[in-house]
Structures are given as structure tokens and as C-alpha cells.
A and B are shown apart, each in its own frame.
Chain A
Amino acid sequence: MAFDQNSKRIFKVVGSRPPRPDGVEKVTGRALYGADMTAPGMLSGAILRSPHAHARIVSIDTSAAEALQGVKAVVTSADFGVPDDEFLRDVQDNCMARGKVLYHGHALGAVAATSAAVAKQALALIVVDYEILPHVTDVDAAMRPDAPVVQEGRSLENVGPGLSQNVTSYCEFGHGDLDAGFDQADLIISRSFKTAATHQGYIEPHACLASLSADGRGDLWCCTQGQFFVRTLCAGILGIEASQLRVTASEIGGGFGGKTTVFIEPVALTLARKSGRPVKIVMSREEVFKATGPTVSSSMDIKIGMTREGRITAAQAQLRYQGGAFPCGTVEMGAQAAFAAYDLAAVQTQGWNVLTNRPKEAAYRAPGAPMAIYAVESVVDELCQQLALDPLAVRLMNAAQKGTLSSYGPTFDDIGLRATLEAAQAHPHYSAPLRPNQGRGLSCGFWFNFGGNTCVSLNINTDGTVGITEGNPDIGGSRASISLMAAEELGIPYDKVRTIVADTSSLGYNDVTDGSRVTFSVGLATIEAARSAIKVMCGRAARIWGIEEDAVIWEDGCAKPAGPNAGAFPPMSLAEIAAVSANTGGPIAGHFEVNADGAGVSFGVHLADVEVDPETGATKVLRYTVFQDAGKAVHPDYVEGQMQGGAVQGIGWALNEEYIYGADGRLQNAGFLDYRTPVASDLPNIDTVILEIPNPGHPYGVRGVGETPIVPPLAALSNAVSRAIGVRLNELPMSPPKVLGAIMQRG
């Protein structure tokens, strides 16, 4: 759907900052999260997890657990079928190991009992005979031909010879003559980088309540970013029809991509089916770390050539991502995003996805992009340092813009990178003085954004209020944004609109809340649903006035005669038309269903100032500013919140967060005490500057904003730290021991 050509539209409601509609319930503790639902006769479920990184399951004896008083069901992979579909089989095998355990924490059995204590006791009675196998957790080691093989036969046709079977796929993008480009360079820098796996770190652990009655009808209540996708997966795994399984999404305590799949839901449903009773499973924090998806870890080589004036002549990247024990496609996103910010005559990116004995990766905000862009932006910064060039001026000189052939293939339409860079250049932050041991870093960021399947139903209530039903869990303020767009289109106050998130039986299929798609897609569908309702209301007014429908227009929340020739009737407000709807044809509603496209790519620029303690290697973030193109900021508070939240998660990724494995392949830091995320006291206020370059693919010009802000912080922090200590770091996280080591090596 195209941008409304009435581009000089003055928004009356969109762009305002009303209080969040879920605020009172959340701060008073009344909001219902995944673990808050209960049911009569409910059982507690618990899951047995592998103590080994890689082992064959020789046998599982559940007889003692089944005999324990209070135990109502025990399940293993024998209680599941084997789906024909490979993707579904992987999802199921990740929820319940079949034949082999593939990582430390992999589920291989589950119990439902009358209490959590009995369930825990029963888990200890399950006897498993393991044949321990060699394991591999490092991506480079896993690619070697002699590496332990995590799963056999999973390599796609595009993987070249000479690599381990752990390499599941290969991709390559780019254009131009690399050799000629590097020949034109005055300076070429090649560097290798590594980044650790990090977890999305949502506050709320996964939780669900499942019931599946003898007649085959099921209900599932869970915290998820996509109840419809949960239904697809669970119905497929359990072999039941989608219409017989109703999935309701709870309030969600964070997801960031990590709740776009299932981990415990099929297990709870299988326990419910076997026991005949509702079953609740709530993950512990340790289970979340061990058995839900962190992002990939990576190993990367980057080569970039630049003239002494700062023009990039050629750029090349080789990216190796490990995504845990099951195939993933994350490197394809990284390979496409790596050089997206630049207008390049010669560019090539190559990527390999690799299996290791780690938990299956899950999406994490702009999956695959942050690490690739970290490596690229680090080399660009080093080139600027060595050539004594201003890093922001160099980025402006090379910035992609409308008409640029992107590094991943398409030619860019309207994009906001140049405007974003110019805003950063003009901002006082960029020219503020720095003191000893302090450094300033800069990075561009990019994400594709997309739309997807979306349904919205908009009901005009007889008292003149409006109810909107949509199907995407609200992880970033979408209920407020959707209400704002409906109010804008209908011409009524925001507080007359309430938006709710429906279960899977109440609407057609909605894609997962991901890809920064909801404000864009659901907003677009809401605008169209409102326009549909307006058409009905204009028709009702026309009938009341006895004039033709097309002689009525909608303006400022009222139906009005289109002109003097249409008749002299006083405007009828939405409330007045709604009040007599029973007399004029019945309830008034609008709905819209679409597979939305045209989301519009998003760019951001981050500036970071840090101070490094030369005695300890600890880094303190002194000042941080985010510049991002939002297309149109529907609710600026939430847009700023997304920008701030993404920046903070990226700061954690850059400075401290990492999955640490021992030589035995076991995860050593499965808890927030040892997995260090930034907290408020670690951070300055994150300043934000919203730019609004309208997206041509949305009626109000909206672009997704949720993912781009996690992309730049990795390089912004690395460039700042490297400039502060006078030596460049090529590995994340830059935890104090690593920074101190670099300082000591520098001498």
C-alpha cells in the first residue's frame, strides 16, 4: 500500500505521546503473564535435560518415575511421532531429543505431577544410559573436516567440498570487480573478528499452560511473540487440526526474537494428552539459558580498500556463524546486511552456517546483522584512523542513498542514511571534548524490515467508542500505536479506542511479531479497516439524509455532505451514526486482511563515548546518542524506547555478555550472576534523535524501528574503546580482562 500522496498531512493524533494502555495493569501486578494462568486439576510439568554436550541415548527407564505417587504422566521422544517435514522435525527434536542429545541442557524426558516438588523428584528417578560422544562448540573448529559431526546429512547442495558435515549452508552476495577495486586503494586493511553468543535476556522465562481433552480439542496459554505460529508448530507436532487448538498469547515480559518458536509448548500438550489433565510448565532461568535460543556466535574476516581521500574502493567479508545443533539461515541475513550502508563499486560477502553442540539459535533483533556490521564498521574505523580521516565524513562520502545499488542486490528507494549521518554530524555530541582514557566511537546500522500476514477487525461500538482486534502480541507498544492510527483515521480521540490481541480462534492467520513488522503491517491494516468502516458510516449518513453515498465525505470524525449541491445537513459524528446503527442496517465494522509488503529498510547511526580504566580494563559508557530514521514515529515514546532498548542490549553484547563453555562442552554461566547484562546503574541516559523520512510503502510513511538499534552499538563501543586505549580490539565481548590484556600488550 502506497504512502498517502497527501504528504503535507498534519497529524492530529499520530505523533502524540499518550500514556501506555498496559501501564496500570503492569505496574500494579495485575497483568497476566505466561506463568499466571491456572486451571482446575492442573499438573506441574518438569523437563529432564542432558548433562552432556553430545551423547547417544542408549536407553531411558522411566518406570520408577511413573511409579512415584503423584506422577500422572511421563513422556519421552517415544510419545511423539516423527514429522515428515524437516523444519517441523527439527523444532520437535529440539523440544525433545530423539536418539541423541545434541547439547548441554537438551530436553529428553518430561514429567507431569500433582506438584512441582513431586515432578522434580520424579525427574531424578528417570534412568538414562548415555554413550558420550565427542563434541564441538567453536565455529571454526566445527568447520574442520575432522570435527565431531553434530548431525549427519544436513549440508545443502550449495556447500563446497573439503568442509565438515557441520557446515549446513553457504551463501554469497555482491557485485563488481574486487581485484580492480583493491588495486585502486591507497590502503587495504584485513582483519579477523570473533563475537560470542548472547542471549535475548528477556525478563520473563518461557511458561505455558496446556490442556488437551479426550475429544481432541486443545487450549494453550503461553508467552510468545506469535500465537498463530505456535499453533502451526504444536498442531503439526501433535498431529491435530489447527481449528482444534486455540492458542492465547499472554502478556509478554520481553522476547526480542527469542519467543518466535516453541520450546516447552509441545511437551506440555503431550503431557496433557497423556495425563488427561491441564499441565503447566514454567522454565527456570537456568533452563532459559541452557535450552532456548541465544543468537549465533561468529568468526569473520573483513578486507576493505580505501583511497587516501576516504573513498572505499572494494570490500569483502567472510562470515562463519554457528547456530547450535540444528541448521539455521542466519548468516544469509548477516551477509546481506554487512555492507548495506555503503555505495560500493566492488563488494563480496560469503557466509557459512555451521552446526555445533550448543542450543539451537533463535532470532535476536536483526538476526545476523549486528556481528557482521560490527566487523565491517571496525575496519572502516581503523582505515579512518590510519588515514587520519574524520570517520563521520568518510561514512557520508560513501553512504548509500536513493539509487545506490545495494551490496545485496536491489537498488535502494528512499532511505534515510545520509540524513541520519548529517544529524549525527551536526549534533553537539560529535564535537564534545574528550579527556585522557576516553574515546568516541561511531557506527552505522541497518535492517531490512518486512511486513507479512496480518488481519485486523475494527468494531464501531454503539456508544461511539471503537474496539480493535489484532493478532500480534504487543512487545513494543503496538497496542498504543494501532489505537493512535485508528483514532487518526477515524478522527476521534485516542482514548475512545481500545486494541486487544486476539487468540487464534478469533482472527485469520497473523505472522509472528518479528521483523519490526507490527506497527508497519498491523498499522497499515488498521488504517484500511478504519477506511472500510468510514465507508459504511458515510453510507449510513447518506441513507439518513436521503442522498447518494458518494455525496458524503468523512472529515474530523464526522460524515458531511460533500458540497453545497449535496444538501445542507449538519455533520453527523461517529458517535451519532453509531448510536442509530441498529436502525440503519446493523452493527458497523471494518476489517482488513493482507500480506503486507513494502516495509522499507531502516538505517541508524550511534555515537558512543567511553572511558576505560587503565588499571582494571573496565569500560564505562559516558554518553550515548542514537540517530534513527523511523519513517513516521507514531508514538515517539515507544520509538525512543525501542532505540534505547536496542542500544542497551548492544552495549551488553559489546562489553560483557557471552555464553561461556568449558572444555567439557557444558555451559558455565547459565544465570544472570555470571552472565552480565547491563543494568541502569551501568549506563548513562541514552539520548535519541528521531528522523522522519517517510516510507513510500505505508500510508503514513511508517518504518519498523525495533531491530536496527541493536546493530550499531557493537562497533560504536569497539571503536570507542579502541580509540580510548590506543589499541584495536577484534573480539567481543570487550570484558575487562580482555581490555586489560590489550592495554598490557600495548605496553
Chain B
Amino acid sequence: MVRVKIWGSLRPLADGQSEIELEARTFKEVLDQLGARYPALRPQIKRGVSMALNGRIYREAWFTKIPPESEVVLMPYMAGG
């Protein structure tokens, strides 16, 4: 079980929650389950999200493993210059 923190403007799309508890072992499972449980989040997931796992940012790596008790934070997809 992991607790996924989502950013403020996504909360209205996830029944007002700021943290969501999921059974997920990878980044992809987090995205799949978020989309399944909260269809309103799907457009943002499709546009792109990053995931911070214990403070380290992952942009695309679907199969990044999420160890138990990890801090998981959903973030907008990062862009740079």
C-alpha cells in the first residue's frame, strides 16, 4: 500500500483528497489505478505527469519500483531550457 500525494489543483478531480492510498508497486501501477479510480484525472495523466519517489523525480519510468513506506508525490511533467 502506498500513499500518493497529488498537487492542489488535482484535488477537486479526486474527491477533494490530497493523498490517495493505492496498492501499487510501480509508477505505472500508480498511474493506472489513479486513472481507474478517478476518471477525471485521466486528462492530466495523459498530458503528462512526473513522480517524485523519496525526493527523486522520475519523468517517464513506468517500471520504477516503489518500496514500502516510500514517499510518492505526483508532479506535473517537468520541462526545462
A residues touching B (Cβ–Cβ < 8 Å)? 156-158, 170-174, 200, 256-258, 260, 329-330, 332-333, 336, 348, 350, 362-367, 408-413, 447-452, 514-517, 595, 597-600, 697, 707
**Is B55's CB under 8 angstroms from A450's CB?**
no
Partner of B64, one of A157, A412, A450, A597: A597
Write out the residue numbers on chain B whose beta carbons fall within 8 Å of the beta carbon of A333: 76, 78-79
Write out the residue numbers on chain A whose beta carbons fall within 8 Å of the beta carbon of B54: 410-411, 413
B16 close to A (CB within 8 Å) = no
**Is A409's CB under 8 angstroms from B52's CB?**
yes
Q: A389 CA to B35 CA in the complex, in Å?
A: 49
**Is A329's CB under 8 angstroms from B76's CB?**
yes
**Is A595's CB under 8 angstroms from B43's CB?**
no
- Output the nearest chain A residue to B11 by Cβ-Cβ distance: A172
Write out the residue numbers on chain B whose beta carbons fall within 8 Å of the beta carbon of A409: 5, 7, 52, 73-75
Chain B proximity of A487: nearest CB distance (Å): 28
**Is A707's CB under 8 angstroms from B60's CB?**
no
- Output the nearest chain B residue to A333 by Cβ-Cβ distance: B79
Known A-B contacts A171-B9, A173-B7; A367 and B55 likewise in contact (beta carbons under 8 Å): no
**Is B52's CB under 8 angstroms from A597's CB?**
no
Q: List 21 A-B contacts (CB under 8 A).
A: A157-B43, A158-B9, A171-B7, A172-B8, A329-B77, A333-B78, A348-B8, A408-B75, A410-B54, A411-B55, A413-B54, A450-B59, A514-B79, A515-B81, A595-B60, A595-B61, A597-B57, A597-B59, A597-B64, A598-B56, A707-B80
- Output the nearest chain B residue to A87 by Cβ-Cβ distance: B47
Q: A363 CA to B78 CA in the complex, in Å?
A: 12
- Output the nearest chain B residue to A594 by Cβ-Cβ distance: B61
**Is A410's CB under 8 angstroms from B52's CB?**
yes
**Is A452's CB under 8 angstroms from B59's CB?**
yes
B71 close to A (CB within 8 Å) = yes
Most chain-A Cβ atoms within 10 A of its Cβ — which of B7, B55, B59, B75? Answer: B55
Give 11 new A-B contacts, CB below 8 A, not counting A412-B55, A447-B80, A595-B60: A172-B7, A174-B8, A336-B76, A367-B81, A409-B5, A448-B80, A450-B78, A514-B79, A595-B59, A597-B64, A599-B57
Partner of B55, one of A157, A362, A410: A410
**Is A364's CB under 8 angstroms from B80's CB?**
no
Chain A proximity of B45: nearest CB distance (Å): 12
Write out the residue numbers on chain A whose beta carbons fall within 8 Å of the beta carbon of B9: 158, 170-172, 350
Report the 10 A-B pairs with minimum CB-CB distance, sorted nearest first.
Answer: A257-B81, A515-B80, A172-B8, A363-B81, A410-B52, A409-B73, A413-B55, A172-B9, A514-B80, A332-B76
**Is B73's CB under 8 angstroms from A367's CB?**
no
Q: A258 CA to B80 CA in the complex, in Å?
A: 10
Number of A-B contacts (CB under 8 A): 107
- Output the nearest chain B residue to A406 by Cβ-Cβ distance: B55
**Is A410's CB under 8 angstroms from B73's CB?**
yes
Bitwise interface map of B from 20 to 54 toward A, beta carbon under 8 Å scored 1, else 0: 00000000000000000000100110000000101
Q: Give chain A's interface secondary structure class.
A: loop
**Is A365's CB under 8 angstroms from B43's CB?**
no
Q: How many residues of B contact A (CB 8 A)?
A: 30
Partner of B81, one of A170, A171, A364, A413: A364
**Is A515's CB under 8 angstroms from B79's CB?**
yes
Known A-B contacts A157-B43, A260-B81; A171 and B58 likewise in contact (beta carbons under 8 Å): no
Known A-B contacts A172-B8, A410-B57, A452-B59; A156 and B81 likewise in contact (beta carbons under 8 Å): no
**Is A171's CB under 8 angstroms from B80's CB?**
no
**Is A257's CB under 8 angstroms from B80's CB?**
yes
Most chain-B Cβ atoms within 10 A of its Cβ — which of A365, A409, A448? Answer: A409
Q: A282 CA to B77 CA in the complex, in Å?
A: 33
Q: A333 CA to B7 CA in the complex, in Å?
A: 13
- Output the nearest chain A residue to B5 by Cβ-Cβ distance: A409
Q: A452 CA to B80 CA in the complex, in Å?
A: 11
Write out the residue numbers on chain B whose beta carbons fall within 8 Å of the beta carbon of A412: 55
**Is A367's CB under 8 angstroms from B79's CB?**
yes
Write out the residue numbers on chain A whose beta carbons fall within 8 Å of the beta carbon of B75: 336, 408-410
Most chain-A Cβ atoms within 10 A of its Cβ — which of B54, B79, B81? Answer: B81
Write out the residue numbers on chain B whose beta carbons fall within 8 Å of the beta carbon of A707: 80-81
Write out the residue numbers on chain B whose beta carbons fall within 8 Å of the beta carbon of A517: 80
Partner of A597, one of B7, B61, B73, B74: B61
Q: A447 CA to B78 CA in the complex, in Å?
A: 11
Write out the residue numbers on chain A whose beta carbons fall within 8 Å of the beta carbon of B44: 158
- Output the nearest chain B residue to A704 by Cβ-Cβ distance: B80
Chain A proximity of B21: nearest CB distance (Å): 17
**Is B56's CB under 8 angstroms from A448's CB?**
no
Q: A156 CA to B47 CA in the complex, in Å?
A: 11
**Is A448's CB under 8 angstroms from B57's CB?**
yes
Q: A260 CA to B76 CA in the complex, in Å?
A: 19
Chain A proximity of B62: nearest CB distance (Å): 10
- Output the nearest chain A residue to B73 by Cβ-Cβ distance: A409
Write out the residue numbers on chain B whose beta carbons fall within 8 Å of the beta carbon of A260: 81
Q: A28 CA to B57 CA in the complex, in Å?
A: 42
- Output the nearest chain B residue to A367 by Cβ-Cβ distance: B81
Chain A proximity of B58: nearest CB distance (Å): 5
**Is A367's CB under 8 angstroms from B59's CB?**
no
Chain A proximity of B75: nearest CB distance (Å): 6
Write out the residue numbers on chain B whose beta carbons fall within 8 Å of the beta carbon of A599: 57
- Output the nearest chain A residue to B43 by Cβ-Cβ distance: A157
**Is A156's CB under 8 angstroms from B80's CB?**
no
Q: A328 CA to B7 CA in the complex, in Å?
A: 18
- Output the nearest chain B residue to A410 by Cβ-Cβ distance: B52
Known A-B contacts A174-B8, A597-B64; A157 and B80 likewise in contact (beta carbons under 8 Å): no
Known A-B contacts A158-B9, A172-B7, A172-B9; A516 and B71 likewise in contact (beta carbons under 8 Å): no
Partner of B80, one of A172, A450, A595: A450
- Output the nearest chain A residue to B56 by Cβ-Cβ distance: A598
**Is B80's CB under 8 angstroms from A410's CB?**
no
Q: A170 CA to B76 CA in the complex, in Å?
A: 12
Chain B proximity of A532: nearest CB distance (Å): 21
- Output the nearest chain B residue to A517 by Cβ-Cβ distance: B80
- Output the nearest chain B residue to A412 by Cβ-Cβ distance: B55
Write out the residue numbers on chain A whose beta carbons fall within 8 Å of the beta carbon of B61: 595, 597
Q: A412 CA to B56 CA in the complex, in Å?
A: 8
Most chain-B Cβ atoms within 10 A of its Cβ — which of A365, A412, A450, A452? Answer: A450
Q: A448 CA to B58 CA in the complex, in Å?
A: 11
Write out the residue numbers on chain A whose beta carbons fall within 8 Å of the beta carbon of B57: 410, 448, 450, 597, 599
Partner of A516, one of B5, B73, B80: B80
Q: A422 CA to B7 CA in the complex, in Å?
A: 32
Write out the residue numbers on chain B whose beta carbons fall within 8 Å of the beta carbon of A410: 52, 54-55, 57, 71, 73, 75
Q: A200 CA to B81 CA in the complex, in Å?
A: 10
Q: A515 CA to B53 CA in the complex, in Å?
A: 19
Write out the residue numbers on chain A whose beta carbons fall within 8 Å of the beta carbon of B10: 158
**Is A515's CB under 8 angstroms from B7's CB?**
no
Known A-B contacts A336-B75, A411-B54, A597-B64; A157 and B40 likewise in contact (beta carbons under 8 Å): yes
Chain A proximity of B47: nearest CB distance (Å): 8
Chain B proximity of A410: nearest CB distance (Å): 4
Write out the residue numbers on chain A whose beta carbons fall within 8 Å of the beta carbon of B78: 333, 448, 450, 515
